Chain A
């Protein structure tokens, strides 16, 4: 496990570290809840949480999911380029920082294992939460199992090739 040097004294940082320099009040944290709600509504309304849509994608029988992911990436690329080139800051005026992703063998092995699970469950982690919310309560079991999988990875992280 790579340890990233940062001002904080946390020994380990996350893959998607929180780059914010100052703390946030409880009210300000609610903004992430609201973004999540909007995001969840899009997930359900575009039916990307559907097991059938994932099957269409992996059977190459519909363009739909490729259109969703492709256009999301395109908008993401343009947004990040604009943020970098125009030097756009956060609402509180902090410079925006994005951590680089470093190559690890896990991206190949773990990525492949996740792909196997993606086609079985019809969900990546985000849609799992939206599936439960939209009434498929048994997916709670899938979520608990995903948390267990995360824990088992953490337990044996130092013994796996990386």
Chain B
């Protein structure tokens, strides 16, 4: 038993995590005819809390309450994993990535997210403005404009052999490459790293 717990506490390899994530697709379909998708939950929150007579938010969001429960579950899963199953050691990342990020000014490589960026102290600073406010806005605006995110398009859509989803995924990746290689160095130096 201890060995099992020990194994669970270690970071899981991609060939365990990937198939488990993929199994979410048939699980949701078989449980209740639900297509896997997460960014829709943000739309349901808008429709429920501030529809403001906008046609895009005029639909029966209560019918999609399962999606809200699903993301609440993801939050709880994060809580459970970090409280009871967490890896006591620092995250291991590629040496080349660590070197690149060190050069950009990241110093904390202990946890899943660097404390240099992701701390409340940065909220009312340029760091917070870019990494939380602008970054979050782009995620919410972009996914809705694209009609889905990594789950709805890259996993669910491509799994169902939908070419618009493949196209969307290509542009998700393109945006990520452009941000990482063109804008991130500029932003990092501008916000004070």
Question: Which A residues are within 8 Å of any B CB, using their own CB?
Answer: 1, 8, 10-21, 24, 28-59, 61-65, 67-77, 79-80, 82-83, 88, 90-92, 94, 96-104, 106-126, 128-139, 141-155, 157-158, 160
List 22 contacting pairs A-B, 8 Å CB cutoff, sorted by A.
Answer: A14-B43, A15-B37, A18-B63, A35-B24, A44-B78, A48-B17, A71-B19, A75-B18, A83-B29, A90-B29, A96-B30, A106-B147, A117-B135, A126-B74, A130-B74, A131-B78, A133-B76, A142-B135, A145-B133, A149-B139, A154-B46, A154-B56
CA distance A116 to B109 in the complex (A): 22
Nearest-Cβ distance from residue B59 to partner chain A, whole angstroms: 5
Do B71 and A108 touch across chains, with their CB atoms under 8 A apart? no
- Residues B14 and A138 in contact, CB atoms below 8 Å apart: no
Binding site for A on B (CB under 8 A): 8, 11-46, 50, 52, 54-60, 63-67, 69-82, 85-86, 91, 93-94, 96-97, 100-101, 109, 112-114, 117-120, 122-123, 128, 130-165, 167-181, 183-184, 187
Contact (Cβ within 8 A) A56 B97: yes
The answer to whether B19 touches A52 (Cβ under 8 A) is no
Q: Dominant SS at the A interface? A: helix
What chain A residues lie within 8 Å of B187 (beta carbons)? 120
**Residue contact B75 to A118, C-beta cutoff 8 Å:** no
A-B contact count (CB 8 A): 556
- 3 cross-chain pairs, A with B, having the tightest CB-CB distances, nearest first: A115-B175, A36-B73, A40-B77
A98 near B35 (CB under 8 angstroms)? yes
Determine which of B14, B21, B45, B138 lies in contact with A113 in the assembled complex, contact meaning CB atoms within 8 Å. Answer: B138
Considering residues A24, A53, A59, A98, which has the most beta carbons from chain B within 10 angstroms of its beta carbon? A98
Report the minimal beta-carbon distance from B173 to chain A, rounded to whole angstroms.
6
Rounded to whole Å, the gap between the CB of B85 and the closest CB of chain A is 6
Q: Which residue of B64, B109, B136 contacts A145 across the interface (Cβ within 8 Å)?
A: B136
Which of B38, B164, B180 sits near A55, CB closer than 8 Å? B180
Assuming A51-B114, A52-B93, what are 18 further A-B pairs, CB within 8 angstroms? A10-B59, A15-B148, A18-B66, A32-B69, A39-B24, A45-B8, A58-B179, A69-B155, A83-B26, A83-B30, A98-B160, A101-B165, A115-B178, A116-B138, A124-B151, A131-B112, A138-B119, A155-B52
